[in-house]
């Protein structure tokens, strides 16, 4: 027990730590217990070719996260993480999700250029709408056909229907309720499942998305081997 306590490295306000070329900043008191070792393990899941667009992970009390009721968000090379979380599993999962969004920004045309993921997503939305109809839940067709993020639809899924009920309804259609929110969340949710949870269920429920992630993995490795993503070759990575 004594050795375990000594090995824990809890993050505290004022910390500025660099791990694997990512600066970790604690702006405000973290109102949960996050072990730095656990965060390092998550970062180390990814080769530099994946995280090269993430310069910072910043923990704090951010108005824009509070207003949107987000736990985390990726923007301009930084992952902003709320200092209020339920537990370590949630915050680490959120960070992987936002790394997925950073990859999405870097490889947007590779991910969406052939429209295959969007087709799979919309097809699933239509199946989901039929399930909603069976449950007596009415959602306009135009909302379900639109792959872009819609905050009203997000709140309807999470608060009006509720994720416990949504979990049962989306079973066999989406990997999780949040994957049904928008096309970009569909990708980031699948990215979590592929890299963090390593869940084979993703391949069964979203084969097109899974195959796209497999092809991206090959692209990441090829890019790194060609030294395209090495630190000395990176210019203009962070755009404010």
pLDDT tens for the chain, residues 1 to 240: 344 333 457 788 888 999 999 999 999 998 888 888 999 999 999 988 889 899 999 999 999 999 888 999 999 999 999 998 876 678 999 999 999 999 999 899 999 999 999 999 999 999 999 999 999 999 999 999 999 999 999 999 999 999 999 999 999 999 999 999 999 999 999 999 999 999 999 999 999 999 999 998 777 776 655 554 444 333 333 333
**Residue from 12, 4, 7, 19 nearest 33 by CA:** 12
Distance CA 234, CA 215 (A): 23
Distance CA 53, CA 75 (A): 10
Rounded to 10 degrees, what is the CA torsion of 115, 120, 123, 125?
-100
Distance CA 73, CA 89 (A): 17
| Cβ proximity of 180 and 174 under 8 Å | yes
Which structure tokens are listed for 3?
């050795």
């Amino acid at each position: 027990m004594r050795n375990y306590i000594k090995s824990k490295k809890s993050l505290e306000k004022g910390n500025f730590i660099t791990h694997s070329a990512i600066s970790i900043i604690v702006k405000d008191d973290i109102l949960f217990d996050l072990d730095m070792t656990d965060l390092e393990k998550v970062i180390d899941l990814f080769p530099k070719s994946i995280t090269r667009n993430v310069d910072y992970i910043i923990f704090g009390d951010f108005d824009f996260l509070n207003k949107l009721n987000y736990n985390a968000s990726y923007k301009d090379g930084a992952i902003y993480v709320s200092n209020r979380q339920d537990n370590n599993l949630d915050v680490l999962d959120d960070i992987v999700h936002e790394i997925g969004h950073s990859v999405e920004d870097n490889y947007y045309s590779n991910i969406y250029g052939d429209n295959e993921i969007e087709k799979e997503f919309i097809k699933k939305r239509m199946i989901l709408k039929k399930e909603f109809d069976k449950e007596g839940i009415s959602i306009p067709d135009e909302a379900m056909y639109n792959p872009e993020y819609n905050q009203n639809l997000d709140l309807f899924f999470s608060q009006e229907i509720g994720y416990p009920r949504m979990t049962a309804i989306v079973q066999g259609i989406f990997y999780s309720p949040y994957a049904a929110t928008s096309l970009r969340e569909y990708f980031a949710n699948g990215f979590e499942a592929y890299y963090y949870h390593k869940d084979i269920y993703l391949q069964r429920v979203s084969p097109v998305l899974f195959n796209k992630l497999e092809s991206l993995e090959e692209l990441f490795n090829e890019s790194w081997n060609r030294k395209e993503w090495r630190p000395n070759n990176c210019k203009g990575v962070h755009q404010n």
